[in-house]
Amino acid sequence: MKKSSEKIILTICYNNEETCDSCSLFGNLMCKLDHKDSIIFIWPFLTMIGLLTAGIVITRVKVGTPWWAIITFIGVYFLYMLFFFNIWESKILCSHCPFYIIDDSKILKCYANYGFLKTAKYNPAPISKSEQIQFLIGALLLFFIPITFLLIIQNFLFAGLVSLSTIIFFVNTMNTSCKKCPNFSCILNRVPEEWKEEYFKKNELMKKAWEESKQK
Ligand code: SF4
Ligand code: SF4
């Protein structure tokens, strides 16, 4: 497929000959890798990690939180993130997304989870209800685990600030990324119907899988 710029290498259109310049979705749907999309998505999450770190350091300095408690928390949280991004979310959310097969490498390339492993088999059919609920639970745990730890070590100010950053994360994501993300069956997705219809014309595999799922 021809591209409008030499910088654009990977897109989620892989079975049409249309150029991006003549496509009505150009600049609307998030259909190629763009670092601006990553920055817009990630800043509230990084803010949360910064607040969490500051909260732990301040509590350690002020009241001497034991090292074993801090190390245990960091270990548990790190392992949970590894599991969530590489295995759980990969199966219940990302394996249904066109970004999952933007190329044939084992490393995911998309605006949100760039660099994580593709451990599931690509599935162009819509995400099931059970997977949608699992995704919500898994995503909320990413924030509730740090909040719980800050409450346990009685840093209520930073527990509140991390809670606020959680709200900001979801409000920001739903008002930016979710309005243009091609994983249409995600529970948070808010792409207009007409854009979905237009994209299905460019992705026969996904269109067929969605039609078949409606017939079940
Ligand atoms: S939907 Fe496909 S053709 Fe249209 S702008 Fe995106 S990558 Fe280009
Ligand atoms: S855009 Fe979202 S759903 Fe798609 S692969 Fe990336 S993180 Fe997963």
Calpha distance 137→143 (Å, rounded): 10
pLDDT given at position 150: 98
Asked if 161 and 52 touch (Cβ cutoff 8 Å), the reply is no
Q: What is the pLDDT of residue 51?
A: 98
Q: Is the CB of 118 under 6 A from ligand 1?
A: no
In this prediction the pTM is 0.90
Q: Which residues of the chain fall below pLDDT 70?
A: 1-9, 15-18
Q: For ligand 2, is residue 120 a contact (CB within 6 Å)?
A: no
Report how far ligand 1's centroid is from the alpha carbon of 5 (Å).
12
pLDDT at position 7: 52
pLDDT at position 5, please?
46
Q: What is the pLDDT of residue 85?
A: 98
What gap in Å lies between CA 187 and CA 203, rounded to an integer?
A: 21
| Per-residue model confidence (pLDDT) at position 1 | 45
Residues contacting 139, CB < 8 A, separation 6+: 89
Any ligand 2 atom below 6 A from CB of 112: yes
| Dihedral pair phi/psi, residue 110, rounded to 5° | -155, 175
C-beta separation of 96 from 181 below 8 A: no
Please tell me if the CB atom of residue 13 comes closer than 6 angstroms to any atom of ligand 1.
yes
pLDDT the model gives residue 15: 59
